[in-house]
Amino acid sequence: MNILSGTPGCDGDLEQHPLLLIPFFRRFRPSLARDLVYTLIWSSLFALALTLVGVLFSRGVGFLELLWPNFVFAQCIGFLIHLAFALGRRYWPGIAKRGPVARMAYYAGVPLVCMFIGMWIASGLVGGAAVRHWIAQPRNITLISGVSLVISCILLLIYIPRERAARAEAAVALETARVAAAERAAAFAQMKLLEAQVEPHFLYNTLAHIDSAIESDPAAARRMLGRLVALLRATAASATATATLASQVAWTRAYLELIEMRMGRRLAWTIDVDPGLDNVVLPPAILQPLVENAVKHGLEPRIDGGAIAIAAHREGDTVEVSVADTGEGFRATGDPARSTGIGLANLRARLGMLYGERATMTIADNAPRGARVALSLPLGAGAGHGAKRGAA
């Protein structure tokens, strides 16, 4: 590429206009009109520089007297180079993937040929036969060729390291995106697996209760069946990569209403959500394993059952979600620092993949008895209004 011109960038830094080295000119969207204007500006600057040099080293020659012919020569050469590289990119796109020798020959040879053709055309416009005779002299041919090659080499020394750095950055970005996509796919697969999982033990027990109540208490059987349908609908509605806190609370409410029909007075539960958190976007199935674990491992084993308290509060730029129960607790089942269910272990792993160290999961004994699991999750931009505060 020659300092007099450049071409629209689409095949790497070697195909970018020289003005794009200046941050100001990178602000404008790439287009044919933009690149033509850039070539006009760049060639005009080059003509101005040649004129200033001519005024310094030529006696008795005025600035305007030199500016016009230099402007014509610069524009003829600059736009010819622009056209040549545009045609080369269209009809020889593979040059960007050739070896270094072929590429250097291309990016130095094209400007050299265009310089001679442009000077020959410009001399007919402003200089006539005398200028063409001067150009045809062997000494001047050597001088023009040397100047063109030096300028091209300088630009190559600038652009080649930039091109290599850009390719390295692109490769790193591509690998980073590939790893991130793989991690998101793995996390999403785990989420979908957990969402699609309706615990057979729970489902069988519910259907068995409905079956046993059909003859003795048809109204209760219908209510239980309605709650089961509501639960399954809530599960299907949350079958997305993300879910709002409101949708997860709706699932939790349907689940607890169904469990309440089975356990009767042995179960009490409350849901307390701060106003404005309904539309907070969270990964799906965040509340599900917490509530299921509290019911299955905490309350159902106790003869007198217990209570579950579900809460979601905003703390700065995080949302704090907790599920506390008055069931068996971890003292009766093992180490209080560990989860006692596969669901909680999977949830911890999913949060680690999605948020890293930005999310925490705390498992501890509840006072005066039972267990409490608390999550601290980064608060996204999905907060809305109109959260419900409910209790039962």
DSSP result, 21-72? GSGGGGGSPP-HHHHHHHHHHHHHHHHHHHHHHHHHH-TT--HHHHHHHHHH
Q: State which of 67-81, 144-158, 160-174 shows the largest mean pLDDT.
A: 67-81
Higher pLDDT, 320 or 1: 320
> What confidence tens digit (pLDDT) does each residue in 271-310 have?
999 988 888 888 877 888 899 888 888 888 888 889 999 9
- Kindly report whether the global pTM for this prediction surpasses the value 0.85: no
Identify whether residues 176 and 258 lie together within a single domain: no
Report which of 7, 54, 31, 354 is spatially closest to residue 155, judged by C-alpha positions: 7
Contact between 240 and 349 (Cβ < 8 Å)? no
- Whether residue 119 sits in one domain with residue 178: yes
Residue 10, pLDDT above cutoff 60: no
Give yes or no: residues 165 and 205 share one domain.
no
Residue type, 198: V
Asked if residue 7 is part of any domain, the answer here is no
Residues 387 and 240 in one domain: yes
- What is the side-by-side order of every strand in the sheet holding 360-365? 360-365, 371-378, 318-325, 306-315, 267-273, 390-391
Residues 374 and 254 both lie in one domain: yes
Contact 20, 42 (CB under 8 A): no
pLDDT score of 337: 42
Determine if the peptide bond prior to 111 is cis (ω within 30°).
Answer: no
- What's the mean pLDDT in 243-247? 85
Distance CA 152, CA 108 (A): 6
- CA 384/CA 280 separation, integer angstroms: 7
Domain boundary pick from 124, 151, 183: 183
Provide the residue range defining the domain that includes 340.
197-391
Same domain, 297 and 239: yes
State the Cα–Cα distance between residues 155 and 4, nearest whole angstrom.
Answer: 11
1 inside domain: no
- Residue-wise over 140-149: b if at least 16 C-beta within 10 A, else e? eeeebeeebe
Q: Does residue 2 sit in helix, strand or coil?
A: coil
pLDDT of residue 7: 41
Q: Please give the pLDDT value at position 312.
A: 94
| pLDDT 10s digits, 309-318 | 999 999 988 9
- Alpha-carbon span 323 to 341, nearest angstrom: 14
Residues in the chain, how many? Answer: 392
Q: Which residue has the tokens 């160290």?
A: 357
High-pLDDT (> 70) share of the chain, %? 76
354 pLDDT above the threshold of 50: yes
* SS3 of the chain: helix, strand, coil, percent, to 5: 65, 10, 25
Name the phi and psi angles at 335, rounded to 5. Answer: -70, 125
| Residue where one domain finishes, among candidates 151, 183, 215 | 183
- Helix (H) or strand (E) segment spanning residue 390: strand 390-391
Q: Are residues 174 and 30 in the same domain?
A: yes
What pLDDT score was predicted for residue 189?
59
Specify if 189 maps to a domain.
Answer: no
Burial grade of 356 (CB within 10 A; 0-12, 13-18, 19 or more): exposed
Specify if 253 maps to a domain.
Answer: yes
Is 229 found in the same domain as 173? no
Q: What is the pLDDT of residue 191?
A: 56
Q: Mean pLDDT, to the nearest integer, of 150-155?
A: 72
Tokens encoding 368 = 């005066």
Retrieve residue 52's tokens. Answer: 């200033």
Distance, first Cα to last Cα, the chain: 76
Quote the pLDDT of residue 330: 67
The answer to whether residues 161 and 242 belong to one domain is no
Q: 177 with 223, same domain?
A: no
Shared-domain flag, residues 158 and 229: no
Co-location of 273 and 349 in the same domain: yes
Residue 260: inside a domain: yes
Q: Which of 130, 155, 183 is the last residue of a domain?
A: 183
**Please, what is the average pLDDT of the chain?**
76
